[in-house]
Every structure is written in structure tokens, then in C-alpha cells.
Chains A and B, each alone.
Chain A
Amino acid sequence: MRDPLGRPPVALMVPAVLATLLLVVPLVAMVAATNWAALPDQLRSEPLREALWLSLTTSTAATFICLVLGLPLAWLLARVEFRGRGGLRALVTVPLVLPPVVAGIALRTAFGRTGVIGEPLLALTGFAFPFTTAGVVLAHVFVSLPFVVIAMEGALRSADREYDAAAATLGATRWTTFRRVSVPLALPGILAGLVLGWARSLGEFGATITFNGNYPGVTQTMPNLIYVTRQSDQDAALALSLVMLLVSIAVLLALRDRWLGTP
């Protein structure tokens, strides 16, 4: 097909092709380097099943918590005018750009055995977050929540406020309006935010390992397992990575209609 506006310029085509290669080559190389003969055995290994199960359950739990806590916060940011709203929104987005290792240190400072919340919590209940599965979920929530809140706030904002006004004149309380109007109208964006948060949790490495260590069956998620396996067995690390790649592609497919709609 000939573009009536002329050929795309070389000055744009070359970097575009380079960018594509940069993104695609590592993934293709990984698939190509996989030892397919050994793959079935590696996929049946106990550590993999444990880590995959832990990753899926903790990510799902974290996503659920992100929904329960994040949706109200997103609604507050989108619908209620108050002093410091801009400041609050900025604060919420900080973990978005925070290096995950730093997030892990921050979580330690707050929820560690001697942390601001961790110490009284330990004294009161005998429970401490670090090195537990609950600690993994906590780390996941910390790094995913900003993604979820920002995506949900955008979704809630895109629904015209006149619908809320209409619901109010019909006698609906703000709670009823939230449940029956705001959320249904923003549902596609809310779901997309949750999928994004889930994917972020699934890939979480830095904060989790800093806050929780790497105990098989308790805090060893897939990224942690891949990292430690790589040091001893290159082939096994490749096999594990392949599993993660497939999960990531599945997430992408789930989001395709929303973000990658072909024009």
C-alpha cells in the first residue's frame, strides 16, 4: 500500500526498527536458548510449583486488597474536592517511581520487628510481617497500589459527573451512587487497573526479597526463585523465565482490547 504522503523518512525508520529489535531480541533469544528436552522435568520440579503457586496466590490476594483499599481512595481523589488533594495524589504516586529495593527498606522501617508499626504489632499480637507470606502480600500491595489507584481514578474521572448529579436528584445517597452508577460506568477501567496491579505484583522482586528474604514455600515467589536458580542452573532459570513470559503474554492478551486495540 502506498502512502499518499510519501515514504516514512529513514531518520525515523532506523530508530524505530532498533527499538523493536531491542525489545524483541532478548525474548526470542530466551525462547531459542531453552533446553526443550529438559523442560518437562524442570517444569515438574517441586520448587517451581511451590513458587508459582505462591506467586499466583499472593498476587491475587494483593490485587483483592488493592481493590478494597484502592477503589475508595481513587473515588476520593476523583470525586471529592478537599485541600491537599493534589498533594495526596502526588504522595500516592511516589511508590510508582521508588526503586523496589528502597520500598523494601521502607517497609522494614515501618513493619519490621522494630518498626514504627511492626514493634507494637509484635508486642500486641506476637505477629510480624517480615519473612511471612503475609509480608509478601504486603510488599506486593505497596508496589501495586499506586498503579491501581491511578488507573481507577482515571476511569472514575472519565465518567461524566452529571451522572452522579442525576442520581442525587433521584434520591440516591453517595454510597448508592458509587455502587450503582460510578463503579459500573468505570468498570472497564477498574478491571484494567486490577490486571495491571496483578501483573506488577507477579513480577515484584526487589521489595519482596528485601522485606521478606527468600524462603521456599513461604516467601520464595517466582522472580526470587529465578534469581537464585540462575546462580546454579542456567537451563532451569530459562525454563522458569519461560513460564513467566507465558503468564505475562496471557495478561497482555487479557488487556489487548483495552490498550492495544488495532486501529
Chain B
Amino acid sequence: MAGDAVSDGRLDVALRVADRVAAAFTATPGEVLAVIGPNGAGKSSLVRALAGLVPAEGHARLDGTDLLQVPARDRSVGLVFQGQFLFPHLTALANVAFGPRARGTHRKEAAEDARAWLERFGIGELADRRPRQLSGGQAQRVAIARALATRPRLLLLDEPFTGLDVKVAMALRIELGRHLASYDGVTLLVTHDAIDALTIADRVLVLDEGRVAQLGTPAEVSQRPRTEHVARLVGLNVVRDAAQLMAFTPDAVVVTLQEPVGSPRLRWHGRVADVSPHGDAVRVLVHAEPDLIADVTPAAATELSLLPGREVWLSVKATAVRTYAPEAP
């Protein structure tokens, strides 16, 4: 490594996986970076490239070492797989002890270490169970403990809450947030859920079609989303207007059957595509140019007969719209 090599735990990535993803970003130790984006945006490819499971070009320097030049097993990277992939023939304890054992820790010491990790995740009493005897939430805790037990400097979590019951996911989210707060390495959390990005992450990296579409704090990304996908994730409407982006919340949208008066820039005509309860309100998805969401009262929804297929007009007051430039992140 040249003189600019630093061993401060920073992650400095500029990598490309052919036909999948090309991304450049940096992250500091202790930081949790959420990676969000639609299916096929390249989230999993990015994570698997960093873990060494798919070949990539470029560099990914961690503590001054280029991960891409090192085989997967020597990377000091912990990966929590989508679908966990706990070893089904090993107990929870042996699963967690697997990493330390593979790296040469003595059997007894590795077992004690693994037990401590299970205790930390509140599942010490499940040490002797096989993965098939664990619930989804328990198995996910074992999977995270297994990844952390190798003391990685980079932790990769690929959709850790997918497939879990909503309540279980929420409990695990809070717990994971606590563990990550005391973890001093870099964490990349791949998720499709805005809640993860907004609650656990220090910064959010938005991938779209294999490129970094936006990189910023959760507040920045949620208030000024640059892609429709993120807007939808955080429950905002985003409309491209000439060289500007306009964002507004669904409750600011007025739904009428007649064409409303006012600026033509701020009214749209379309058909109702979906109607679903959203808290105390009713959320209406309208196929317009582009698709927009509106929150109305149940009374209004009934009065306007808002059913799929109904033609409606949507409008929003200029004061409810935030306008910003779509400059590169």
C-alpha cells in the first residue's frame, strides 16, 4: 500500500460488478450505512462483492487493505445472508463458534466465546438447538451472532428482517440498533424497508439500476428523495418539474372529481389504482403522470366513491410543495 494508506478503519469503495453495480462511497468506523433501492438495483451484488463471493473490479479499501485483492476467507468481513444459511447440522452454539474455530481458535475457547455472543443476543438458553428448532427471529439472532463472532471490521447485513413476522422484525430491529451502536466497525445494511434506513442508519445509500442515486443522512434522503423509488419508500410524492424536483406528502394532496382551478403544474388527472387503509386515513394510489399517492379521510373516500378505476383529479397547494435541484449526490 502507498503512503496514503490509512489504518483508521475507514471503508473506501469504488467497485464494479459487470452488468450489476458500479458504486463508489466511503464509510467511517462505527457508521451504519443503509443500502436501499428497488429489486435488481444491485444491492446484493454490492454486498456479495465486498464479501468476496462475486468477482469485482476496482477497489474496496478497509483499514488500508484492498479487500478485492484478498480471498473471501481472509477478508475479516461478516455477512448475514438473506435466508440466514445457518448450518443445519450444527447447534446454534456450534454455528456461532464456527468462525472462530475456522480461524484457529481452540475448541473450548471458541465455545465460550460463542456462548457469550448468544447471551448477548438473549438466546443463551437456545445454544443446543439446531436451526430447524429455532423460530425465524431466533435464527436471525444466531445468524447475526455468527457473523459478529469473527470480529469483522465490516459487517454486511443482507435484508436481515425479510421473512420475519412484523412484530418480531420490530423487536429485532430495536435490538440490532443497540448492538450496532456499540459495534466499532463499518456496517452495511441492505434493506427495502424505509423504517430500517430511517431508524438504524447513520447514512443512506440509494442504489438505482446499479448506480448510486443518492447518498446522505436519513433526513436528507427522506425529505429530498431523488428517485421515485425512495419517495415511495418514505411515503412521499416526488414529481420532476423541468430541472427541479418537487416533493409533497400524501396528506397535502386534494382529491376531486372535477378539474380543480389553480396552477396546471400542480394538478394531475388519472385513475385510482389502489385504495388501502393507512392509519386513520385511506391511502389512494392514482395512476397519473407520474403515479401519486393521496391520503384522504374515510368519509371523503366514501363520498367520492374512490374505487379502483375511478377517474379523479389530484392537486396540491404550492405552499405544501418542497422544490429542490436533482444535483448528483
Name A's B-contacting residues (CB within 8 A): 160, 162-163, 165-173, 176, 180-181, 184-185, 187
Contact = CB atoms under 8 A, between A and B. Distances in A.
Nearest to A169: B79
Contacts of A169: 51-53, 72-73, 75, 77-79, 147
B183 interface: no
B99 interface: yes
A180 B73 CA distance: 15
Given A162-B81, A162-B83, A165-B53, A170 B89 contact: no
Contacts of A168: 52-53, 71-73
A208 to B, nearest CB: 38
B52 to A, nearest CB: 7
A173 B102 CA distance: 8
Contacts of B121: none
A167 B102 contact: yes
A172 B95 CA distance: 13
Please give me the 7 A-B residue pairs with the lowest Cβ-Cβ distance, nearest first: A170-B99, A172-B102, A168-B72, A171-B103, A169-B79, A171-B102, A184-B89
A169 B85 CA distance: 12
A177 to B, nearest CB: 8
A181 B89 CA distance: 8
A166 B103 contact: no
15 contacts: A162-B81, A162-B83, A162-B85, A165-B81, A166-B79, A168-B53, A168-B73, A169-B51, A169-B79, A170-B102, A170-B147, A171-B99, A172-B73, A184-B87, A185-B87
Interface in B123-151: 146-147, 150
Contacts of A173: 73, 102
A165 B78 CA distance: 12
Given A166-B87, A168-B71, A170-B147, 16 more contacts: A162-B83, A162-B85, A165-B53, A167-B98, A169-B72, A169-B78, A169-B79, A171-B74, A171-B99, A171-B150, A172-B73, A172-B98, A173-B73, A173-B102, A180-B102, A185-B87
Contacts of B163: none
Contacts of A180: 98, 102
Given A166-B81, A169-B79, A170-B99, A185 B52 contact: no
Contacts of B71: 168
A137 B53 CA distance: 42
**Chain A interface helix/strand/loop/mixed:** helix
A192 B185 CA distance: 46
B127 to A, nearest CB: 18
Contacts of A160: 85
A173 B77 CA distance: 15
Contact of A171 (B73, B87, B89): B73
Contact of A181 (B72, B75, B87, B150): B87
Contacts of B81: 162, 165-166
Nearest to A174: B73
Interface in B51-108: 51-53, 71-75, 77-79, 81, 83, 85, 87-89, 98-99, 102-103
A145 B139 CA distance: 39
B202 to A, nearest CB: 24
A187 B74 CA distance: 28
Given A167-B102, A171-B74, A180-B98, A185 B150 contact: no
A9 to B, nearest CB: 42
A176 B98 CA distance: 10
Contacts of B85: 160, 162-163, 165-166
A68 to B, nearest CB: 22
A9 B53 CA distance: 54
Given A168-B73, A171-B73, A173-B73, A185 B51 contact: no
A13 to B, nearest CB: 41
Nearest to B71: A168
Interface string B39-54: 0000000000001110
A149 B174 CA distance: 49
Contacts of A184: 87, 89
A191 to B, nearest CB: 14
A185 B86 CA distance: 12
